[in-house]
Amino acid sequence: MRIKHLEVPQEIWEDKRIPKETKYIYSYIYSKGFDRIITDINIGEIQQTIKIKNKGLKRSLEILKQLKYLKYFQEYATGMYTITLN
């Protein structure tokens, strides 16, 4: 059996196109969705670590999607998202 380690890909930290708060959001999503394809998050979870509003979270998720770090995200209720990781 092979042991997997939780480690955010290094290329995201070196990518200058991504704002700092978006990198933190990605690392949160990656750690929560580790070893899964689809994960659910809400704005309240992220607000405990990063000062952000729903509009800012949506913008950050859109940046990650455009840069192909996320395959898909959908807001199914206000502040609640389903995310498909790459």
Query: What CATH class does 18-85 carry?
Result: mainly alpha
Q: What is the pTM of this model?
A: 0.82
In Å, what is the CA distance from 82 to each residue of 2, 3, 29, 51?
28, 27, 11, 21
Map 29-55 to HEC letters: HHHHCCCCCEEEEEHHHHHCCCCCCHH
- Tokens read off for 38: 């689809």
Closest by alpha carbon to 59, among 45, 44, 75?
A: 75
Mean pLDDT of 21-39: 84
The domains of the chain are located at 18-85
Q: What confidence score (pLDDT) does residue 5 get? A: 52
The pLDDT score that the predictor gives to residue 1 is 41
Q: List 51's β-bridge partners, or say none.
A: none
Residue of 12 and 86 predicted with greater confidence? 12
Local confidence band at 6 (pLDDT 50, 70, 90 cut-offs): low
Note the pLDDT of residue 40.
Answer: 87
Mean per-residue pLDDT for 6-30?
85
